[in-house]
Amino acid sequence: MTISLRALTLASVLTLSSFAGVAAFAADNPMVGGAAMYADKNIIENAVNSADHTTLVAAVKAAGLVDTLSGPGPFTVLAPTNEAFAALPAGTVDNLLKPENKDMLTKILTCHVIAAKALSTDIASMVKADGGKHVVDTVGGCKLTLEDNGGKITVTDENGTVANVTIADVNQSNGVIHVIDKVLTPKM
């Protein structure tokens, strides 16, 4: 009986410790779309919980990028909100989600992905080292210009669209997400 009681006590302590560890992972990350983001989960596992990223998640699924963004990375994902997609011309999102437009959708989405983990402090350092602007290549072959305007990170695409990072440094097991307020597009 004593051994069973000790085992039960130990199991309870370990269980509480593991819950505390999970809470710590969420506490280190900002909330996104009303959901906790866990640093021990991958980009897809977290993104599906954000109420602000349902359009992005649907697009990632339609483009067949779920396995890629669930992979080891590391990735930096610039994640446009539902509002960013809604600001596109009427019908754009519906058109991109059609199977016949999968290649274009994939190109647009991969222009939001950098094949490295770049926290906001990393971006600020690169921008400073490059004299105020840092150009980065994306997985989709786009060139994005990163700037740090008084602690606010902006991202400019090849067409001149400027997106603001509204939530930075959402750590993931396979990289980091920065929430942005515009959809970035490749040069056509």
Q: How many residues belong to the chain? A: 188
Alpha-carbon distance of 147 to 128, in angstroms, equals 9
pLDDT over 70, % of the chain: 86
What domains sit in the chain, N to C, each tagged with a CATH number? 31-180 (2.30.180.10)
- Best CA proximity match to 79, nearest among 188, 171, 165, 187: 165
Query: 5-9 — which CB contacts under 8 Å span 24+ positions?
Result: none
Mean pLDDT score across all residues of the chain:
87
> Which tens digits make up the pLDDT trace of 37-73?
999 999 999 999 999 999 999 999 999 999 999 999 9
> Which pTM value belongs to this model?
0.84
3 or 91, higher pLDDT? 91
| Cβ atoms of residues 163 and 180 within 8 Å | yes
pLDDT value at residue 24: 40
| Cβ atoms of residues 186 and 179 within 8 Å | no
Least confident of 6-15, 23-32, 37-46, 100-109: 6-15
Evaluate if residue 183 carries a pLDDT over 70. yes
Query: Please, which pLDDT band fits residue 17 given cuts at 50, 70 and 90?
Result: very low
Evaluate if residue 151 carries a pLDDT over 60. yes
Query: Please, which pLDDT band fits residue 27 given cuts at 50, 70 and 90?
Result: low
Mean pLDDT (whole number) for 69-90: 95
pLDDT value at residue 65: 95
- What SS3 state is found at 107? helix
pLDDT over 90, % of the chain: 80
pLDDT value at residue 142: 96
| Cβ atoms of residues 170 and 158 within 8 Å | no
> Which tens digits make up the pLDDT trace of 99-117?
999 999 999 999 999 999 9
